[in-house]
Amino acid sequence: MNTTQPQATNNPKPVLHGVKIKQRKGVQKANAKHEPEVFRDQILNHLKPIKESDFEAVSAKLDNLGNTLDYRKYGDSLFEILITGGILEPGGIIKNDVEQSPFCIFAAQDDASVIKKYVDTFNKLIRRYKYLQRIFGETLQNILQFSNKWSSEENSKLAKATGFFVCQQIVPISVLKVLFQDYLIKEALALNFVTSVFRTVITEQNVDQLGRMLTSEGLNARIVDFFPPNKRDEDSLIRHFEAENMKSLVDYYRKSKKNSVKTTLLNELSELVQGEESSDKEVIQFIRANMKEAALTEADVIPIIWQSLANTIDTMNRADQIEGQALRAVNQWTQILADFCKSPKTEILLLQKVQTTCYEEVKLTKSFRRIVQELYKNDVLSDNAILYWNDKAHLPQGKSVFLKQLEPFATWLRENGDSDEDSD
């Protein structure tokens, strides 16, 4: 048997000359060279022909380029180009072997309305390619940490843009944490940057929205940390933002600090009073110290003292047990309440807090009159305050129930007051 195999011929396969075969988009991406400089050059070649300030054309071009260029691999280079005009070398130096990109934040006019248009372009691009949002946040942080390498004008533009990025929820305000670097803080670069960011957010939205952002990211209590070490105090913070015509932020800061102290006071007060080692005098001194720290008034602390008292009552008990517990707590807290309840205003505030507590805690509803009488007997409340609450200052919550409860006592106070006047 002949086992010789037929030899393969070396004849080449036929090819079509002069025919351009269109590659699929995926193949184009796979065949692209993987160097940031090549990617940059491709981006620049597409952006250069676009007329200056034609933001719609830039958006459309960047959208289309995402189909052929590898944004996922070179997203950091893309955003470096769109922010600084080029790609960054180690150490934050812009590679200057080619001209700066005609479309970038560093080349923009230093005007908030103009910079917002640039930011809108970023927003459209990231909405189109959602995976770019994480890359953008990381790239922006990297650029911010080199703020000492940028000119004051470039930092001014970047700070405004960052404010708009935050407002449009492209990045969280926590991106500013990267500025907690000694080399940025000691020269006040961090402070100047965040000041511009805060101003942008307040102008675009409002100071309450800024406050909510700062609080959610744990920055609300750290604003002072952006200041140089020798100016890291409340007075310096207030003077700085007032000089920057940002009094609304100063007011918010004071309000926030006051609320923070109130919360701390509320949490610690009931524990202090229940502790056997703390005397009334020591508790009063503790409250006064907190008042001084946050510029609180007696009208601020009376509701806190009452709420702390109410928190010591075990509402899981039976109604009759709860009433006895409430009256014992009033007696225990008498000296503390009396020390901060020395004006008609604070007396009315206390009565309103008692009313609210008895309304919200159903088991205490029937105890309202007994609690008020106990406060009167212990000289915390005056007859004038009780009668004024009864006639004009009661709250809507449960008023008919509480007024009916207090009616006999109010009548007795009026008659007793009339008798005293007659005897005089």
CATH of the domain at 263: 1.25.40.180
Q: What is the pLDDT of residues 194-203, one digit of tens each?
A: 999 999 999 9
Give the model's confidence band at 264: pLDDT under 50 very low, under 70 low, under 90 confident, else very high. Answer: confident
Residues 126 and 214 reside in one and the same domain: yes
Residues 280 and 189 reside in one and the same domain: no
DSSP line for 73-107: HHHHHHHHHHHHSSPEETTTEEP-SSPPPSSSGGG
Number of H helices, E strands in the chain: 20, 2
pLDDT at residue 32 in the model: 45
* Any domain includes 200: yes
Q: What is the pLDDT of residues 99-111, one digit of tens each?
A: 889 899 999 999 9
Residue 417 has pLDDT above 80, yes or no: no
Residues 280 and 229 reside in one and the same domain: no
Range of the domain at 159: 25-245
Query: H-helix or E-strand containing 261?
Result: helix 247-274
Q: What is the pLDDT of residues 31-66, one digit of tens each?
A: 444 589 999 999 999 999 998 889 999 999 999 999
Residue-averaged pLDDT of the chain: 88
Find where tokens 């995402």 sit.
Answer: 66
Distance CA 249, CA 318 (A): 48
* Any domain includes 9: no
Domain boundary (245, 277, 299) is at 245
Residues 203 and 287 reside in one and the same domain: no
Residues 176 and 290 reside in one and the same domain: no
* Any domain includes 31: yes
Residues 43 and 76 reside in one and the same domain: yes
Residue 30 has pLDDT above 80, yes or no: no
Domain boundary (245, 273, 291) is at 245
* Any domain includes 15: no
Cα within 13 Å of Cα(251), Cβ side: 8
Residues 265 and 315 reside in one and the same domain: yes
Query: H-helix or E-strand containing 58?
Result: helix 55-65
State the burial class of residue 400 (Cβ atoms within 10 Å of its Cβ: 0-12, 13-18, 19+): exposed
Sorted by sequence, the CB contacts under 8 Å of residue 141 that are 6+ apart come out as 175, 178
Own/partner pairs for 98-101, CB < 8 Å, 24+ apart?
A: 98/40, 98/41, 98/44, 99/44, 101/43, 101/44, 101/47
Neighbouring-strand partners of residue 88: 94
Residues 183 and 305 reside in one and the same domain: no
Residues 48 and 190 reside in one and the same domain: yes
Residues 241 and 279 reside in one and the same domain: no
* Any domain includes 154: yes
Q: How many domains does the chain have?
A: 2
* Any domain includes 14: no
Return the closest-CA partner of residue 330 out of 285, 289, 273, 399.
273
Residues 237 and 309 reside in one and the same domain: no
Give the model's confidence band at 293: pLDDT under 50 very low, under 70 low, under 90 confident, else very high. Answer: confident
Distance CA 355, CA 4 (A): 110
Domain boundary (199, 225, 245) is at 245
* Any domain includes 75: yes
Judge whether 67 and 28 are in contact, CB under 8 Å.
Answer: no
Residues 312 and 218 reside in one and the same domain: no
* Any domain includes 365: yes
pTM above 0.75, yes or no: no
CATH at residue 190: 1.25.40
Q: What is the pLDDT of residues 228-261, one digit of tens each?
A: 999 999 899 999 999 999 999 999 988 888 888 8
